A and B are shown apart, each in its own frame.
Chain A
């Protein structure tokens, strides 16, 4: 076998845990891709109803973007060893996440009021499945956020110890992007 690079110990592109996180995100992507294609396939079969999306979804979309910004602020603060603003950034992110979840539930209420129930035509069931699964993942991210926040109070998050907060930020941005994709997908394929 010719021409291979001999691996030197310690020089690796990515920490194994971070790498594992990316793999996990790939499997989450597969869940939503498969559901999206199920949606498209179902729609092409016909017998479809059109959904009036609640106004609330626009608001929650803005909230989740804001939470990504505050998360990133916490991350940058950690890089600059700005311990206090790490905590502030993470706390704001947490609050925004809770607001987001409340908003989504509110939106479900609006959907029900306009007659789009979970049980009924799959077109409306899918909306609940998408947003519900997204919330389920967000709960996981919230637990993670809680861990990082606790760490930050124990002075364990700083420029020499970025792994956790980096992973949390990645997960957070991912979930933000995921919601925007889902919403866009639902609106465009309505």
Chain B
């Protein structure tokens, strides 16, 4: 071991001076395209994520038109959708399925996994841990380009003649395994699997890097108990991804064999048009087990980074320490652990043993406890704070609201008995769009508003940001709240139309309302798009620390070069949440300020620590 230590010291020493003088020799290609700088890679993930979010949003509005206004003439969409508009000017029925499938896939994987984790883990892990870059810049670059390739494949699949995959984002066999089952199970499904395989590689490359960086490359003084909660969240997220995405790989691999080589892992006793297929001995339920073993952790992979971002923003803008720092970490670890043992709550009606169902019910309900702790801690952090309503803060508070109202319905669904009624209805759709979709989306937006000044050196427009918030917040509740009623009334999800059921005719108005709200909410996102792209070029130049925040990223220059800090990496002397500390001069004390410089606000044990501080390289401020 000692040998590698020597080598490591050589490596890091070489690394440090390498960065001080090497900036000028970069071409456009290495700087903006095949960049190994974590900040550029983060922006690449963000822009790609925004592209996908817009596309995913547009797809959803198209199928909402169908659901809200089944009789509507859609002839005007023919220039975009071509043959997917029937001669009568209606949406093609199989294409409807393709739309919901692509919407789900895009949002869950490309926007809320790659777009969210990819952007903020990349951007913040080195900046907030105090590192020059990721452990391996090259692997990091590969991670983005695998994601890009996977995006291209998925995008192309939408333009082939037989259409993209159509079996739902969960691609259950046998539907997805048999190309003859429907046109969307043909080439489109193959491309879906190829794209996901690339996506998994990208996630693993990214995740390995995130974990390694957090463990190995923290600056001096940055112990785990001083890490900002953002980093804790990204770290746990990466661990979940590392453990669960390989399982999706296994599931997909066996599906590929079934589809292309004729094996029978998921198939048995199937008759098509009276003909028996040769597949024997497999089990489609097996796929569901494998899929949801990934799928449930995946939903937390989506929400945890958003929760981490929120912790940081709420604490900063309440000007108060985060309530229950250790409880926050503990509950994230608890959620992470529990998320691996609840997967079967997605399978209550697959004919599982009712006793097993009760076990999964109990485990599922237990996961509500750490979730509730987190919600409680956000509220108590806000309680009596000097709240500053920046757009980022508003979106964070919005996230907490969605997380609670969507989490409550999880408790209904988690009861195997109630789930018999609710499974695969719009109630489930409402549940996960609030708790996962909207909450994580708001987390992502909050992060963009909050760290935009660090990303681009400029500020976004505050008024437009607030307008964007209010329209989105109200719009989202108008879209998803009514869905609970529609779901309890028994509407199954993924149905093309409900017009032939008399029982449902009373809900036509509600469905129309939902669709109108969805269109308005999508429209509101264009305010954001304008604000985002306009501010990149024309926004006000950002001050060094616009939100008066404690974390390390705000000690970098306005436009940080590759290597982040021009001089030595700052040392860390305290946790990230010394806001409004009694006795202190300002209402925030950055992590780089030693205790020995703040005798007026130190607690007893901090005075003790002040005696042992190593102050080399720190000059006393003012």
Residues of chain A whose beta carbon lies under 8 Å from any beta carbon of chain B: 1-2, 4-20, 23-24, 26-28, 30-31, 34-35, 37-38, 41-42, 45, 47-49, 118-123, 125, 129, 133, 159-163, 166
Contact = CB atoms under 8 A, between A and B. Distances in A.
A4 B225 contact: yes
Contacts of A5: 223
Nearest to B605: A2
Interface of B: 1, 3-9, 12, 135-136, 139, 204, 207-209, 211-213, 215-218, 220-223, 225-226, 242-247, 249-251, 253-254, 257, 261-265, 268, 280-283, 285-286, 289-290, 293, 574-575, 605, 609, 614
A133 B286 CA distance: 19
A109 B242 CA distance: 35
What 4 A-B pairs are tightest by C-beta distance, nearest first? A30-B246, A34-B247, A4-B223, A16-B135
A123 B7 contact: no
- The B contact surface, by secondary structure, is helix
B9 A125 contact: no
Given A10-B8, A11-B5, A20 B135 contact: yes
A122 B264 contact: yes
Contacts of A20: 135-136, 139, 208-209, 212
B193 to A, nearest CB: 16
A15 B208 contact: no
B4 A18 contact: yes
Given A1-B226, A2-B605, A47 B281 contact: yes
B221 A162 contact: no
24 contacts: A1-B574, A6-B221, A9-B12, A10-B8, A13-B1, A15-B7, A19-B216, A27-B245, A28-B246, A30-B242, A30-B243, A31-B246, A31-B250, A34-B246, A34-B251, A41-B289, A42-B265, A45-B286, A47-B280, A119-B262, A122-B281, A161-B7, A163-B4, A166-B4
Contacts of B213: 16
Contacts of A7: 218, 220-223
B226 A26 contact: no
A12 B216 CA distance: 7
Contact of B211 (A1, A23, A133): A23
Nearest to A28: B246
B212 A41 contact: no
Q: Which of B8, B220, B226 has most chain A Cβ within 10 Å?
A: B8
A42 B282 contact: yes
A6 B4 contact: no
Contacts of B223: 4-7
B4 to A, nearest CB: 5
Q: Which of B243, B263, B268, B605 has most chain A Cβ within 10 Å?
A: B263
A133 B257 CA distance: 13
Given A20-B209, A125-B257, A160-B3, A118 B226 contact: no
Contacts of A15: 4, 7-8
B286 A119 contact: no
Contacts of B220: 6-9
Contacts of A161: 7
Contacts of A26: 242-243
A27 B246 contact: yes
B204 to A, nearest CB: 6
A65 B100 CA distance: 51
A167 to B, nearest CB: 10
A10 B382 CA distance: 40
Given A6-B221, A17-B136, A30-B247, A118 B280 contact: no
A42 B265 CA distance: 8
A119 B254 CA distance: 12
Nearest to B287: A38
Nearest to B210: A23
A27 B4 contact: no
